[in-house]
Amino acid sequence: MQLAKRVESITPSSTLAITAKAGELKAQGYDVIGLGAGQPDFNTPKFIIDAAMEAANAGHTKYTPTAGLPELKEAIIGKLKRDQGFNYDKSQIIVGNGAKHVLYLLFQALLNPGDEVIIPAPYWVSYPEQVKLAGGVPVTITTTEEKHFKIRVEDLEQVVTSRTKALILSSPSNPTGMIYSKEELESIAAFCIAHDILIVSDEIYEKLVYNGNVFYSIAQISEEVQAHTVIINGVSKSHSMTGWRIGYAAGDQVLIKAMTNVASHSTSNPASVSQYATIAAYNGPQESIETMRQAFEKRLNTIFPRLSELPGITCVKPQGAFYLFPNIRKMSESCGFAHVSDWVTALLDEEKVAVVPGAGFGMPDFIRLSYATSLENLENALDRIEHFIQKHI
């Protein structure tokens, strides 16, 4: 069958692919440790689940407005005010089926064929593919470990053209866990305003910051920067609600309206019951966020020293999110593998540990390990990785 050119140019999500392969091995009875997952391993807090059940029992099971229930928009506006002091109007908010869907709507609403979107690499796997699906051109800036995987204005100057329409920032970053400071963001924001570039600020890991590091939203710099920014966020990572599929965008009302139009002809509203759950998540007690954050912090501080001491590996210590992103090229070569992706495949085959090769994030010398699993699993996985390296080196 002759498929559309648009789908021929995109690659399937490498994170979902490795998770699927690990799942297959598990189903065959193997004891697989999965470090591929991009989701917290905690249950959704009970009061959120209760709110969803109450909503369902009360008959809130019908269509809602496409961009979300007014009460949910109020709850999101309340969260944005509480956490960053922002003022948003309901017309500036759209709720979608997860942050991923909201990003998809954004690029569909924003890009004309040939419009360019600057994406720092390593990047979250879906950014370039979503830009391409909308007819846009992803323009990547490859960052380095030495600069802690962050871009600077000099880098932007090298790639900006008259077609540049947007810049995507992920902070705390998936996959590196790096967080941009206020000062770093100020110079990037000034550049974007001067070149009339929309800043897409993906803040989905906002609540997961460790060891005294702080999250700062680029839109907090000034009202002018806020007007040039669309914030992307949701409850997947903060409230361990990946399966409920709720994310939102906050930004310019013309853009939000266009995104709503696209949603109105594709998905309509996100699940009504999930919306009620999210109202509870944002308006209810926030303690569970801190409990989960502390668990992630403990895991990071336990496994990071062990990982970074492995021979031939370098790893910048993450400040947030729940991933480690080591450069394993030297080690993988010493083990006799031509490509890091071959090392990853052999590790899964021989030791039954699933990690994600860095190629899908735009950095083929690296791998991504998620620590969204128990400390016991993490320690076990490191034992197996050590064993694997000793065997091959």
Binding site for ligand PLP (CB under 6 A): 38, 98-100, 124, 170, 174, 202, 204, 234, 236, 242, 247
C-beta of 241 vs 348, nearer to ligand PLP: 241
- The C-alpha atoms of residue 126 and residue 325 are separated, in whole angstroms, by 17
CB of residue 57 vs ligand PLP: minimum separation in angstroms? Answer: 26
CB of residue 280 vs ligand PLP: minimum separation in angstroms? Answer: 17
DSSP string, 220-252: GS-HHHHHTEEEEEESTTTTT-GGG--EEEE--
Q: Look at residue 117 and give its three-state secondary structure.
A: strand
What is the DSSP pairing of strand 323-324 with strand 367-370?
Answer: antiparallel
CB of residue 241 vs ligand PLP: minimum separation in angstroms? Answer: 8
Distances (CA, A) of 347 to 92, 125, 163, 195, 384: 47, 22, 43, 46, 9
C-beta of 248 vs 337, nearer to ligand PLP: 248
How crowded is residue 155: how many other Cβ atoms within 10 Å of its Cβ?
18
CB of residue 138 vs ligand PLP: minimum separation in angstroms? Answer: 15
Q: Which residue has the tokens 């759209």?
A: 94
Q: Look at residue 120 and give its three-state secondary structure.
A: strand
b/e burial code for range 108-147 (CB count within 10 A of at least 16 → b): bbbbeeebbbbbbbbbbbbbbbbbbbbebbbbbbebebee
Beta strand segments in 108-189, E: 116-121, 137-142, 164-170
CB of residue 177 vs ligand PLP: minimum separation in angstroms? Answer: 11
C-beta of 38 vs 177, nearer to ligand PLP: 38
Which residue sits closest to ligand PLP, CB atoms considered? 98
Which of 247, 245, 212, 242 shows the shortest CA–CA distance to 230? 247
C-beta of 38 vs 358, nearer to ligand PLP: 38
CB of residue 73 vs ligand PLP: minimum separation in angstroms? Answer: 17
CB of residue 194 vs ligand PLP: minimum separation in angstroms? Answer: 26
Single-letter amino acid, residue 188 = I
How crowded is residue 225: how many other Cβ atoms within 10 Å of its Cβ?
21
CB of residue 202 vs ligand PLP: minimum separation in angstroms? Answer: 5
Which of 77, 109, 263, 278 shows the shortest CA–CA distance to 200? 109
C-beta of 167 vs 389, nearer to ligand PLP: 167
Residue 321, phi-psi category: left (phi > 0), alpha (psi -120 to 50), beta (remainder): left
C-beta of 45 vs 351, nearer to ligand PLP: 45
C-beta of 250 vs 389, nearer to ligand PLP: 250
Q: Look at residue 122 and give its three-state secondary structure.
A: coil
CB 32 within 8 A of CB 354: yes
CB of residue 127 vs ligand PLP: minimum separation in angstroms? Answer: 8
Distances (CA, A) of 261 to 180, 229, 257: 33, 20, 6
CB of residue 317 vs ligand PLP: minimum separation in angstroms? Answer: 19
C-beta of 105 vs 156, nearer to ligand PLP: 105
C-beta of 275 vs 332, nearer to ligand PLP: 275
C-beta of 98 vs 320, nearer to ligand PLP: 98
